[in-house]
Chain A
Amino acid sequence: MDQLLRDMFARHEELVPAAPPGLRAAIFTGARRRRARRRWAWTGLLTGVLVIVALLAVPIAPLPRQTAHRQVAAPPAPLHLLLVGIDRTGEEPAAQVRADAMMLVHIDPVARTAYAVVVPRDLMFDLPGLGRQRADGAYLVGGYRFAADAMERLTGVHLDGGVVADIAALESITGAAGGVVLCVERRIQSRRLAYDGRGGVTEPAYGRAPVVYEPGCRHYDARQAVDYLREAAGAGDERALRQYLIALAAAASDPARLPALLAAVGAGVELHLGAGSLAGLAGTLRAIDPSRVSGLRLPSTRLGTGRAPLPDGDGLYDALRTGRVGPWLAAHPQYAV
């Protein structure tokens, strides 16, 4: 019988087609497409991080009194923040990883809405001394300041501040909150976590069953909560993120939890804020409902292997500076995410 089987398999080798070139192409384009989908998921998470920071930021930095008075008197102008998301899990120093997602957030304090302008990762920037570089490379080369300068030069918008966050930061913040209770609506199987067989979770590997999020409300630890958020965001479920933010806000209002939370935000999230603007910023952000943040793409055209920004952003840069992004987006629905 053994020999029969071996012979049979050998006979059928001629069924095997030569790998067609189309198969290789399909593999590479398929992976690119899926990566792009993951990056969209990131924008939701980044918005979440921003709101968490806003909730917690006020007590971190002392507020210079004079600046605060001047701000109260000034008419509320639109605020601009640069958000950079890094998909590292904590081992590498921030300076050595590429930016996985970058977006410019436009906040309208009067209308209490925000717009997240997603910067394509392969957008070509003109960098001083370096010529044209990809947007994620700009972060790799010069860190936050470099990427922020490039954005300011491109759009003519003054950035009021920025946030750099990664998965590890989200996990440590969630951990400081003591985990969160999340209500899962549809069963999701994790692609990044597996049960280690001893009641914990670890990286997937041979013989380990993947973590499954079953419907129902239960308490999740930091790692599983963040993993679930990434999976849910990837599946287009924004309710999960909102639930998570509410749970975090509740933890932040608990005086026993607050010191640990603040330490986690201080250690894990890189804040780049102009002096004195922090309190005003946090106040503004609190008024904004994260589920009402609209996403839009930075107008660009294909250029070789990357993308080139349109000279005036198809009118977007002007709309950003004058605070008329809403009407602009209504007139240019093709850029909505």
Chain B
Amino acid sequence: MTFEEFVEARLQALLRYAVMLTGDPHTAQDLVQETMIRAQLQWRRIAAADLPERYVKRMLTNVYIDLHRGSWLRRVVLRGVDLDETLAPRTVGDHADDLADRDQMWLWLGRLPRQQRAALVLRYYEGLTDGEIAEVLGRPVGTVRSWISRALSTLRAQVSPAMAGGDTP
């Protein structure tokens, strides 16, 4: 598969995944752009992998998790804008439409540590098994399971009172 064919076939899917990760279409586009530039530069190696898409997804996840280290985002996208402010959950609502604004779960998800959020997206949106998630995140399965269970218990703690109050279906 050439890189051009890969872009044609998978760009939209990667963009969807990036939106689920970042919670924000604009950051997602920057994330996809940065990842795909890197992917093109090492396309020969990626094309030789069993699952090129999985490989690229892993690169994208790593770029996303590296956000807080300020490497590419600070340099490429933000140019001096405060990183935490831009990525803070409340800002998610600014960019998102009304639907997302009302969706409490989406906001809670945005407050999770990035690795935990990535694990949840991979399991519940991409439908991967724990083994596959471990591969994408480059961590042992045990670590991934503990991230997921910690993330779920954080969310549960917030969902229960909210559901009792009748805010969320």
Contact = CB atoms under 8 A, between A and B. Distances in A.
A206 B16 contact: no
Contact of B33 (A17, A27, A203): A27
Given A13-B16, A16-B15, A16-B16, A23 B124 contact: no
Interface string B98-139: 011001011001000000000011001100000000010011
A8 B41 contact: no
Given A4-B105, A8-B105, A15 B19 contact: yes
B159 interface: yes
- For the side of the interface on B, what is the size category? 35 or more
B78 interface: no
B86 interface: no
Contact of B156 (A1, A30, A31, A203): A1
A203 B32 contact: no
Interface of A is mostly: helix
Nearest to B24: A15
A274 B97 CA distance: 71
Interface string A25-63: 011101100110000000000000000000000000000
B73 interface: no
A65 interface: no
A31 B41 contact: yes
Interface string B13-53: 00110011000010011001100110011000100000000
B100 A12 contact: yes
Contact of B155 (A1, A6, A20, A203): A1
A207 interface: yes
B74 interface: no
B136 to A, nearest CB: 8
B25 A8 contact: no
B15 A17 contact: yes
B124 to A, nearest CB: 4
Given A15-B19, A34-B37, A9 B25 contact: no
B96 interface: yes
Contacts of B88: none
A12 B99 CA distance: 8
A24 interface: yes
Given A19-B12, A203-B45, A9 B103 contact: no
B49 to A, nearest CB: 8
- For the side of the interface on A, what is the size category? 20 to 34
B99 A14 contact: yes
Interface string B133-160: 0010011000000000000100110010
A72 interface: no
A1 B159 contact: yes
A280 B100 CA distance: 74
Given A15-B96, A16-B25, A4 B41 contact: no
Contact of B135 (A31, A34, A207): A207
A5 interface: yes
A17 B99 contact: no
B19 A16 contact: yes
A254 interface: no
Contacts of A18: 12
Contacts of A19: 11-12, 15, 32
A30 B37 contact: yes
Contacts of B25: 15-17
A292 interface: no
Contacts of B58: 206
B62 to A, nearest CB: 10
Contacts of A2: 124
A252 B37 CA distance: 41
A69 interface: no
| Cβ-closest 8 pairs across A and B | A31-B40, A9-B125, A30-B37, A5-B124, A27-B36, A207-B138, A8-B105, A16-B19
22 contacts: A6-B124, A6-B125, A8-B106, A12-B19, A12-B99, A12-B100, A12-B103, A13-B16, A14-B99, A15-B97, A15-B100, A16-B15, A16-B16, A16-B28, A18-B12, A19-B32, A20-B29, A23-B32, A27-B33, A30-B37, A31-B41, A208-B138
Given A5-B105, A24-B11, A206-B138, 13 more contacts: A1-B155, A6-B124, A8-B105, A8-B106, A11-B103, A12-B106, A15-B25, A16-B28, A19-B32, A27-B40, A30-B37, A31-B40, A34-B37
Interface of A: 1-2, 4-6, 8-9, 11-20, 23-24, 26-28, 30-31, 34-35, 203, 206-208
